[in-house]
Chains A and B, each alone.
Chain A
Amino acid sequence: MTLSRDELIHASGIISDEQTLETSLDQLRGLVSPAAFTGETMLLNMGPQHPSTHGVLRLLIELDGENVITVLPDIGFLHTGIEKNMESKTYEKALVMTDRIDYLNNQGNTLVFSLAVEKLCEIDVPLRAQYLRVIVAELQRINSHLIWLGTHIMDLGASSIFLYALREREYILDMFEEISGQRMMGNYNRPGGVWRDVTPRFMTQVHKFLKYLGPKLDDYEAIVTENPIFVDRTKGIGVISAEDAINWSVTGPYLRGSGVNLDWRKAAPYSCYDHFDFEVPLGTNGDVYDRYIIRLLEMRQSIRIIQQALDGLPTGPTRTTNRKFAPPPRAELGSSMEALIHHFKLWTEGFKAPVGEVYVRTESPRGELGVYMAGDGTSKPHRVRFRTPSFVNLQSIGVCSSGVLVADLVAIIGSIDIVLGDCDR
């Protein structure tokens, strides 16, 4: 029995019964070039399940042979509805969900959420807590860049760097487990400071790790940086100019690769970053190679920051003593009536935030991570919006990938460094 073309398409289940092939292509009419409809160019689906898309990203690529003409990202396969879910939880309960937004920058997400709550409710943070936050945030930055290094170089062909990078990462995860009990979703930064003080074992681990990592980064540079295959695959690929990058609201190493000096740790310092002395590496050409060099240099600068923070770590409390926002220590509950009442109010109802809205921005390993928080006088936030870097950076993929080959597209996606949890929330 022969089936007509339409019957075959419906029987294969590609499109639902109500659609026909013409209408599903119709949605793309303004977005791809007219040659796609006549068949001169090919529409290729780089689907949500793909080894090199770093998560569930779907790209619709229009190809002329091997040359890319248009790239249409289709995101939303990991949309979790976190922002709506936070509107029905108290501030401290909503903090639990923030770890999972950008799952390679857990401590950074809780940091920016805590900073927003502190700005909205005017909570003070002790100095020791701010230094500890910096140490943990920079360790998280090294962690994220190591995963980026491993997966990016593995996409380009060298899979041994993947194993080396994940081996270094195990040391950092041990340190996170030491202070918070969990390898990844530590929930360590809380509004008012950090959860609890660090142990002496953590300090020795960090000291040892900082001495260990420098020579290892030299080893990886020796393997990759001058490698002719790597240089051919990345120099001159994925170039974006500085004006285009600023126009498309790009931030992070992606922007600094084009030579624009914008690092929120220097431009709008938060959590005592202005006490530390570090450089911001900049690129010149704006291609994939420059972004690779920048991220390696950023890892070395993070080592420098952590060393300074460890040397100058002050003594003192690690969470605010304002009992309206931070719970009292359990030892006080037996002897003090106010401590008991504060504990009860915080655990049943949570603290109330004033009416108003704030916007706080930090520098995540991917770019500008910001939180727009609006309070309405109750103990649940009225609106929490996460301005995530991967979402905003991914829109410009069409600009920097015009005229490249399909294989270069993989290198470009890796160099933008997207995390789909960050993109879709």
Chain B
Amino acid sequence: MAELMDITNQIRHAFPEKVQDIIEFRGEVTVIVDPSAILEVAHYCRYTEGLQFNLLSDLGGNDYFPAEPRFGISYVLYSMSLNHTIRLKVYLPNSDPTVDSVVSMWQGANWMEREIYDMFGVTFTGHPDMRRILMPFDWNGYPLRKDFPLGYEEVAFSFNNDRVMAKKPHPME
């Protein structure tokens, strides 16, 4: 715990105006970084002595609609030699959801960034292959955004059975 705070203070000293905040919750430490500096901070975390975060555990996205900034991307990094975990977090506005891709640091970010593009619509500049991965290639919309409907089918009771059945497609023989 204490050494994690040392590490985050070291990052804050290296990038004084780019680190916006450091949060500690339930034993985990999150460093909130300005989106324009994520590649430099990632490089620093990867290659500096004492940090050496060489495994990218997780790259996840979150949508805070209607609050601004709307999108949050979190990078969970793990150091194999020193056995500590840290999270970097980046907040992106709705008007410009783009951020640099960290594929050049960790190749494992390839499909994780494609999934965030598919589900949230956040584009990563510098990614070698920015296409949809889970949804069909001609799907419209970004499913995990809060303003995308769940798309569920109404439960059919006797009073609305005809209405529900009329909307379902029926197979041709």
Q: Are A361 and B135 in contact (CB under 8 A)?
A: no
Stretch at the interface among A41-49, A77-85, A141-149: A77-85
Q: Are A248 and B108 in contact (CB under 8 A)?
A: yes
Residues of the B chain whose Cβ atoms lie less than 8 Å from the Cβ of A368: 57
A interface residue count range (under 10 / 10 to 19 / 20 to 34 / 35 or more): 35 or more
B interface residue count range (under 10 / 10 to 19 / 20 to 34 / 35 or more): 35 or more
- For window 396-418 of A, CB contacts with B under 8 Å fall at 396
Q: Are A382 and B144 in contact (CB under 8 A)?
A: no
Q: How distant is B143 from chain A, measured CB to nearest CB, in Å? A: 6
Q: Are A76 and B150 in contact (CB under 8 A)?
A: no
Q: How distant is B75 from chain A, measured CB to nearest CB, in Å? A: 11
Q: Is A303 interfacial (CB 8 A cutoff)?
A: no
- For window 24-81 of B, CB contacts with A under 8 Å fall at 25-26, 28, 30, 54-58, 60-63, 74, 76, 80
Interface centre among A268, A361, A385 (most CB of B within 10 A): A385
- For window 61-111 of B, CB contacts with A under 8 Å fall at 61-63, 74, 76, 80, 83, 85, 87, 106-111
Q: Is B128 interfacial (CB 8 A cutoff)?
A: yes
- For window 20-71 of A, CB contacts with B under 8 Å fall at 27, 30-31
Q: Is A177 interfacial (CB 8 A cutoff)?
A: no
Stretch at the interface among A154-162, A226-234, A288-296, A387-395: A387-395
Task: Choose from B62, B106, B150 the contact partner of A374 (Cβ within 8 Å).
Answer: B62
Q: Is B171 interfacial (CB 8 A cutoff)?
A: no
Q: Is A246 interfacial (CB 8 A cutoff)?
A: yes
Q: Is A75 interfacial (CB 8 A cutoff)?
A: yes
Q: Are A30 and B128 in contact (CB under 8 A)?
A: yes
Q: How distant is A171 from chain B, measured CB to nearest CB, in Å? A: 35
Residues of the A chain whose Cβ atoms lie less than 8 Å from the Cβ of B1: none
| Alpha-carbon gap, A258 to B34, bound state (A) | 36
Q: Is A12 interfacial (CB 8 A cutoff)?
A: no
Q: Is B112 interfacial (CB 8 A cutoff)?
A: yes
| Alpha-carbon gap, A372 to B76, bound state (A) | 10
Q: Are B134 and A424 in contact (CB under 8 A)?
A: yes
Known: A246-B55, A249-B108, A356-B25. Is A75-B133 also a contact (CB below 8 A)? yes
Question: Which residue of chain A is the closest to B132 with respect to CB atoms?
Answer: A76
Q: Are A260 and B57 in contact (CB under 8 A)?
A: no
Q: Are A260 and B80 in contact (CB under 8 A)?
A: yes
Bitwise, B1-41 to A at CB < 8 A (1) or not (0) is: 00000000000000000000000011010100000000000
Residues of the B chain whose Cβ atoms lie less than 8 Å from the Cβ of A333: none
| Alpha-carbon gap, A382 to B62, bound state (A) | 9
Q: Are A249 and B106 in contact (CB under 8 A)?
A: yes
Q: Are A249 and B128 in contact (CB under 8 A)?
A: no
Q: Are A31 and B150 in contact (CB under 8 A)?
A: no
| Alpha-carbon gap, A27 to B150, bound state (A) | 29
Residues of the A chain whose Cβ atoms lie less than 8 Å from the Cβ of B25: 356-358
Q: Are A383 and B107 in contact (CB under 8 A)?
A: no
Q: Are B111 and A372 in contact (CB under 8 A)?
A: no
| Alpha-carbon gap, A368 to B129, bound state (A) | 25
Task: Choose from B26, B80, B144, B150 the contact partner of A356 (Cβ within 8 Å).
Answer: B26
Residues of the A chain whose Cβ atoms lie less than 8 Å from the Cβ of B55: 246, 249, 262
Q: How distant is A118 from chain B, measured CB to nearest CB, in Å? A: 10
Task: Choose from A262, A361, A374, A395 the contact partner of B110 (Cβ within 8 Å).
Answer: A395
Residues of the A chain whose Cβ atoms lie less than 8 Å from the Cβ of B111: 391-392, 394-395
Q: Is B169 interfacial (CB 8 A cutoff)?
A: no
Residues of the B chain whose Cβ atoms lie less than 8 Å from the Cβ of A392: 108, 111-112
Q: Is A101 interfacial (CB 8 A cutoff)?
A: no
| Alpha-carbon gap, A357 to B30, bound state (A) | 10
Q: How distant is A413 from chain B, measured CB to nearest CB, in Å? A: 16
Q: Are B150 and A246 in contact (CB under 8 A)?
A: no
| Alpha-carbon gap, A85 to B61, bound state (A) | 16
| Alpha-carbon gap, A385 to B129, bound state (A) | 23
| Alpha-carbon gap, A247 to B143, bound state (A) | 29
Q: How distant is B152 from chain A, measured CB to nearest CB, in Å? A: 8
Residues of the A chain whose Cβ atoms lie less than 8 Å from the Cβ of B56: 249
Q: Is A225 interfacial (CB 8 A cutoff)?
A: no
Q: Are B143 and A84 in contact (CB under 8 A)?
A: yes
Q: Is A132 interfacial (CB 8 A cutoff)?
A: no
Q: Are A119 and B106 in contact (CB under 8 A)?
A: no
| Alpha-carbon gap, A390 to B80, bound state (A) | 21
Task: Choose from B87, B109, B112, B144 the contact partner of A359 (Cβ within 8 Å).
Answer: B87
Question: Which residue of chain A is the closest to B63 with respect to CB atoms?
Answer: A383
Q: Are B133 and A359 in contact (CB under 8 A)?
A: no
Q: Are B58 and A370 in contact (CB under 8 A)?
A: yes
| Alpha-carbon gap, A396 to B106, bound state (A) | 12
Residues of the A chain whose Cβ atoms lie less than 8 Å from the Cβ of B136: 76
Q: Is A120 interfacial (CB 8 A cutoff)?
A: yes
Q: Are B60 and A31 in contact (CB under 8 A)?
A: no
- For window 242-282 of A, CB contacts with B under 8 Å fall at 246-250, 260, 262, 267-268
What are 22 A-B interface contacts by the 8 Å CB criterion? A75-B133, A75-B134, A76-B134, A76-B135, A84-B148, A120-B26, A246-B54, A247-B54, A248-B107, A249-B55, A249-B56, A249-B57, A249-B107, A249-B109, A356-B26, A357-B25, A357-B62, A358-B25, A358-B28, A387-B57, A395-B110, A395-B111
The 8 closest A-B pairs by CB, nearest first: A249-B108, A76-B134, A387-B58, A79-B134, A385-B60, A395-B111, A372-B60, A248-B108
